[in-house]
A and B are shown apart, each in its own frame.
Chain A
Amino acid sequence: MNHPFRTVIIVAAVGSALTALVSRFSQLTLVDAALGMAVTTVVGLRWRELRAVTDVAASRAARSAQLRLWEPRASLTLRIPGLFRIIITRTSIMGFFRGRLALLRFSNEPSRIIRPPLSRFASVVRAVWGEKTYARVFGPARADLIFEWQEAVKRGELKLAWWIKYGRSSWTMFWTVLHQIPFTLLDKLKALFKGNVA
């Protein structure tokens, strides 16, 4: 009997190999590779194989129920009265003592190195969109946010600095990515129709 995932594996492998081959000889980035893989996998999958996968899972679940390997039980919150209260009280008390302990332990340490905002995000975006788009769109956005963050730190406005680092940066980049995606797709389509891909 054929393995239910056989077609999925073959299609994904062939799709990945083709995409890698095309990427090797053209200027395609990771976005193209991901799109190529997704398209080849979706197109290559057939309904019958997908049904086989779900049927196998369903039959296994039915068999387990038949053998009484599991039985329905009420959730923990119903079985242990006052569980939420216990968790909240315990977490609060432990958190308080951990905080005091950390203060005692580290209050005399020299300042630690702080990562600027979006340091991890930058490498991901650079890999996905390529150097040119990063330099024109995401790089300037990040540089301005870091500048704002540094100004806030210099002024001693630590709450504002925290907000810039974790709130405003994520929010700005999320929307910048969303605004950039249609233009990227449009550029890719234009390149496809002009025959510039290969």
Chain B
Amino acid sequence: MSKDLPRLSASERNVLEQLIGKDKYGLELVADSGDMLSRRSVYVILGRMEEKGFITGREVETPAGESGPPRRVYRVTGHGRRVLAAHEAALAILRGAR
């Protein structure tokens, strides 16, 4: 693999694929992942992905009349989109080479 292509684990790929369509909360990502993500590790994965610049998280204020800390909703960044596209292209080349 090229040195410039950032590494992308299966879980990270799943997160990026889910976030391409719409912004989601951590719990939604787990529910829609089809057993690929678990709530035990998803927040650590999301934190790492934010550090790498694949996704951004913003805190959504709690609706009026409700209590609790603000929830964090995640969105894919341009860098994340490009990394996912590059990995898909690399996989397509590998599949074609077989």
Contact = CB atoms under 8 A, between A and B. Distances in A.
Q: Does B associate with A?
A: yes
Interface of A: 116, 133, 136-144, 146-148, 150, 171-172, 175-176, 179-180, 183
Interface residues of B, number: 21
A140 B40 contact: no
A147 B71 CA distance: 8
Contact of A150 (B41, B51, B66): B66
Nearest to A168: B39
Contacts of A150: 66-68
A87 B43 CA distance: 45
B69 A142 contact: yes
Contacts of A171: 40
Contacts of B50: 136
Contact of A143 (B39, B47, B48, B72): B72
Given A142-B69, A143-B68, A143-B69, A137 B41 contact: no
Interface of B is mostly: mixed
B57 to A, nearest CB: 7
A180 B44 CA distance: 6
Given A139-B72, A172-B39, A144 B25 contact: yes
A98 B27 CA distance: 40
30 contacts: A116-B67, A116-B68, A136-B46, A136-B57, A137-B44, A137-B47, A138-B43, A140-B46, A140-B72, A141-B26, A141-B39, A141-B43, A142-B69, A143-B68, A143-B69, A143-B72, A144-B25, A144-B26, A146-B68, A147-B27, A147-B71, A148-B27, A150-B68, A172-B40, A175-B40, A179-B41, A179-B44, A180-B47, A183-B44, A183-B48
